[in-house]
Amino acid sequence: WGRYRVFLILVILGTLIGESVQNVILPYIAKLLFDTLATSAPGVAALGDLKHTLLLFTGASLAVWVVHRGAWVIYMYIQPRMMADLE
């Protein structure tokens, strides 16, 4: 446990941050997107707001993906080493 404490904390934090962004922030950004679509006048004027909201949604989704992958890479790194230390 002592040698892998930092890695385990990173895995736990990565999972918690990824899940909280995915379950709380992404639905809120989707709500902003649909609110913009519902309240904006048709035409070029709404494209700036829509583009900003789509970029925000894409960036948050990419951040969730990176955090989840990072957490799993760390987990895959430490898991066999911890198992080897048990022998």
DSSP classification of residue 21: I
**Amino acid letter at 10?**
L
**5-17 tens-digit pLDDT:** 888 888 888 888 8
Q: What is the mean pLDDT of the chain?
A: 86
pLDDT of 55 strictly over 90: yes
What does the alpha-carbon distance between residue 74 and residue 7 come to, in Å, rounded to a whole number?
Answer: 7
Tokens linked to 16: 């918690």
pLDDT value at position 1?
60
pLDDT value at position 40?
77
pLDDT value at position 62?
92
Q: What is the residue whose two structure tokens read 């379950």?
A: 23
pLDDT value at position 58?
93
What does the alpha-carbon distance between residue 23 and residue 11 come to, in Å, rounded to a whole number?
Answer: 18
Residue 14 neighbours by CB under 8 Å, 6+ apart: 67, 68, 70, 71, 74
